[in-house]
């Protein structure tokens, strides 16, 4: 008894420790742990440092958005950045209105009597006023840039698709867009790739081509100008390299006006607006929140999130474990491993779960009472190891289903329709392509894999039991009886298949998952396939062999019955 208790403790305690190590390993299949982003962000540009860099460029408006993102995410040293911004705003009272960032335009903005005295003035609201457009066009006509002059010639277009022609009664929308884009070109605030694209589109439009692509770019810039002042607009579009990225970012901006500081800060810190746009299109519901979480760890954290293109997992349990004195160094080392070698980290995690499941099964083996003298012939040496390995595989599957975050997450990819509202321009201007906005459950493939693995484990368990009975030192007729006794195990795949189908249909009726007959009936289908293969190709030949052996074996002599003795009367 003491030996079995010792074996139980020697297996159960390490199993729990291995399970705990697997749970705190910051490696996941469909997400990245916040501790990994923290390691990736060490010694990289922080959000506060990015704000200070913008202030050195006199771009007060962009620095204010970065400060708002830092305050929303609770970044350290945000108070110091706030004080510097406040002092700069006091030295230049007009900069908080139009954003600064371009000393050559001070006279343009200061000459507008309608400019508000406080708060930010969206650049589209500024340039849509006729007096300001007139000044901007005079400035653009004197520009030596070929792209600016080609863009001005687009005012003569009459085959426009999105905008009304400039000469029409409602042509102020096109004039506003051309003025905004032209001023960005003239001041050199568009990237080389984007400015070249605008130039090519303008040339093609002026030579009789379809101007819709150029109008789309103009519409995107004007839409961004409706939400940013001049300094913020300069900072936002300055790193955009192509028109497709501009379109995607404009769509995201229209959809997420309440979270513009996070989006702006992510593009500034990462320097990769194309990847930011792609990430937000893949994760339309949680993408901005996850980008905000990565901003706490600087440019390295944001770029690591964009590179992996998954969601962020931030566990309170992991933070509490990492806060402990003996576990902090271990947690940091594991995060470093999972950052530099994510596949190795995930493999180690699965091996820890597998070893924990195997030791738990071994502990249960020692916890069972010893076999009686009658059952000792049924014991076959070494077969309990196969059963423990099967238990470990099933344990790994269960732990992954319960512990992996966002394993059955919805698909968040979506194309945003948008509409632009311009002050003093009249009705709404529709543009873009309307895409589907339905969230599609990603459970079908996961359900198929789950049912397949469970049926495969039951199939392997049946094979192990059949091999165990085959090797038992018993007569063939007893082995036949033992096979009959295991019929419920051999049919367990059918029971599991029916149960899986019923549960799937119940979840569909409750609205937990979307209707999917393939996912519902795959459980029963896999059960029928695995049970049929086992019984036809494994169980049936073994029973036939045992029947032949039982018939060929000599009949055992039957002991004669002993008549009862009657007591004689004395």
d(C-alpha 33, C-alpha 404), whole Å = 11
How confident is the model at residue 421, as a pLDDT? 43
d(C-alpha 502, C-alpha 490), whole Å = 21
Q: Are 298 and 41 in contact (CB under 8 A)?
A: yes
d(C-alpha 428, C-alpha 322), whole Å = 53
How confident is the model at residue 432, as a pLDDT? 44
Region of 119 (left: φ > 0; alpha: ψ -120 to 50; beta: rest) is: left
Q: Give the 3-state DSSP-derived string for 377-411, with helices as H, strands as E and coil as C.
A: HHCCCCHHHHHHHHHHHHHHHHHHHHHCCCCCCCE
Please report which helix (H) or strand (E) contains residue 233, including its range.
helix 230-237
> Coil, strand or helix: which one is 430?
strand
CB atoms within 10 A of CB 212: 15
Give the pair of three-digit tokens for residue 531: 């049970």
Give the pair of three-digit tokens for residue 470: 């085959």
What does 101-170 look like in DSSP terms, one character per residue?
Answer: --GGGHHHHHT-TTS-SSS---HHHHHTSHHHHHHHHHHHHT---HHHHHHHGGGG----SSSPPTTSTT
- Find the DSSP H helices in 511-558: 517-534, 540-552
* Nearest CA-CA partner of 417 in 569, 544, 241, 251: 251
Q: Are 27 and 350 in contact (CB under 8 A)?
A: no
How confident is the model at residue 117, as a pLDDT? 67
Q: What are the beta bridge partners of residue 411?
A: 440
Q: Are 217 and 181 in contact (CB under 8 A)?
A: yes
How confident is the model at residue 236, as a pLDDT? 95
- Find the DSSP H helices in 324-382: 325-340, 342-367
- What CA–CA distances, in Å, run from 346 to 133, 329, 400, 409? 58, 19, 11, 19
Sites in the chain below the pLDDT cut of 50: 417-441, 570
Q: Are 11 and 293 in contact (CB under 8 A)?
A: no
* Nearest CA-CA partner of 243 in 219, 263, 261: 219
How confident is the model at residue 427, as a pLDDT? 40
Give the pair of three-digit tokens for residue 223: 């839409």
Backbone angles phi, psi at 2, to 5 degrees: -65, -35
DSSP letter at 191?
Answer: -
How confident is the model at residue 555, as a pLDDT? 62
CB atoms within 10 A of CB 260: 19
d(C-alpha 239, C-alpha 219), whole Å = 18
Domain boundaries, the chain: 47-309, 441-550
d(C-alpha 332, C-alpha 43), whole Å = 15
d(C-alpha 395, C-alpha 39), whole Å = 31
How confident is the model at residue 165, as a pLDDT? 94
* Nearest CA-CA partner of 348 in 333, 364, 363: 333
d(C-alpha 310, C-alpha 339), whole Å = 14
- Rounded to the nearest 10 degrees, the angle between the axes of helix 273-282 and helix 298-308 is 50
Q: Are 109 and 115 in contact (CB under 8 A)?
A: yes
Place of tokens 């799937």: 504
How confident is the model at residue 423, as a pLDDT? 44
d(C-alpha 200, C-alpha 180), whole Å = 18
* Nearest CA-CA partner of 290 in 28, 46, 37: 37
How confident is the model at residue 101, as a pLDDT? 67
Q: What are the beta bridge partners of residue 313?
A: 33
Q: What is the pLDDT of residues 512-546, one digit of tens each?
A: 666 567 777 888 999 999 999 999 999 999 999 99
How confident is the model at residue 419, as a pLDDT? 45
**N- to C-terminal Cα distance for the chain?**
55
How confident is the model at residue 428, as a pLDDT? 40
Q: What is the pLDDT of residues 476-511, one digit of tens each?
A: 999 999 999 999 999 999 999 999 888 888 877 877
Q: Are 153 and 147 in contact (CB under 8 A)?
A: no
Q: What are the beta bridge partners of residue 59?
A: 100
């Amino acid at each position: 008894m003491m030996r079995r208790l010792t074996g139980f403790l020697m297996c159960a305690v390490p199993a729990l420790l291995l399970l705990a190590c697997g749970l705190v390993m910051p490696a996941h299949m469909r997400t990245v742990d916040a501790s990994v982003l923290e390691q990736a962000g060490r010694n990289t540009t922080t959000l506060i440092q990015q704000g200070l860099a913008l202030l050195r460029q006199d771009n007060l408006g962009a620095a204010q958005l970065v400060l708002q993102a830092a305050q929303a995410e609770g970044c350290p040293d945000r108070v110091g950045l706030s004080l510097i911004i406040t002092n700069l705003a006091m030295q230049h009272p007009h900069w908080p209105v139009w954003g600064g960032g371009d000393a050559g335009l001070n006279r343009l903005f200061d000459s507008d009597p309608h400019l508000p005295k406080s708060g930010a003035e969206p650049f589209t609201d500024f340039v849509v006023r006729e007096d300001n457009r007139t000044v901007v066009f005079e400035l653009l006509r004197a520009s030596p840039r070929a792209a600016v002059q080609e863009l001005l010639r687009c005012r003569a277009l009459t085959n426009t698709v999105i905008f009304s022609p400039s000469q029409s009664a409602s042509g102020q929308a096109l004039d506003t867009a051309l003025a905004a884009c032209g001023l960005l070109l003239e001041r050199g605030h568009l990237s080389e790739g984007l400015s070249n694209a605008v130039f090519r589109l303008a040339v093609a439009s002026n030579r009789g081509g379809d101007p819709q692509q150029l109008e789309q770019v103009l519409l995107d810039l004007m839409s961004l100008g409706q939400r940013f002042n001049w300094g913020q607009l300069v900072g936002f579009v300055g790193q955009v390299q192509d028109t497709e990225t501009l379109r995607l970012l404009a769509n995201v901006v229209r959809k997420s006006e309440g979270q513009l500081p996070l989006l702006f800060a992510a593009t500034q810190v990462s320097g990769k607006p194309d990847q930011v746009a792609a990430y937000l299109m893949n994760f339309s519901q949680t993408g901005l929140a996850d980008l905000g979480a990565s901003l706490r760890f600087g440019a390295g954290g944001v770029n690591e999130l964009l590179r992996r293109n998954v969601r962020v997992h931030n566990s309170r349990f992991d933070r509490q474990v990492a806060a402990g004195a003996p576990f902090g160094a271990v947690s940091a080392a594991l995060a470093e491993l999972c950052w530099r070698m994510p596949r190795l980290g995930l493999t180690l995690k699965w091996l820890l779960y597998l070893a924990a499941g195997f030791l738990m099964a071994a502990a249960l083996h020692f916890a069972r009472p010893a076999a009686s003298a009658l059952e000792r012939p049924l014991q076959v040496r070494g077969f309990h190891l196969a059963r423990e390995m099967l238990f470990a595989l099933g344990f790994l599957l269960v732990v992954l289903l319960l512990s992996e975050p966002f394993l059955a997450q919805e698909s968040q990819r979506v194309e945003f329709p948008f509409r632009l509202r311009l002050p003093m321009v009249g009705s709404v201007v529709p543009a873009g392509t309307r895409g589907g906005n339905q969230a599609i459950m990603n459970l079908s493939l996961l359900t198929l894999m789950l049912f397949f693995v469970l049926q495969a484990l039951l199939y392997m368990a049946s094979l192990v039991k059949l091999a165990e009975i085959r090797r038992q030192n018993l007569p063939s007729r007893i082995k036949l009886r033992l096979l009959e006794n295991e019929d419920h195990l051999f049919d367990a795949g059918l029971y599991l298949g029916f149960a899986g189908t019923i549960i799937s249909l119940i979840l569909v009726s409750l609205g937990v998952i979307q209707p999917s007959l393939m996912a519902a009936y795959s459980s029963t289908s896999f059960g029928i396939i695995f049970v049929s293969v086992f019984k036809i190709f494994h169980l049936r030949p073994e029973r036939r062999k045992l029947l032949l052996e039982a018939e060929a074996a000599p009949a055992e002599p039957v002991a004669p019955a002993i008549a009862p003795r009657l007591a004689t009367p004395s």
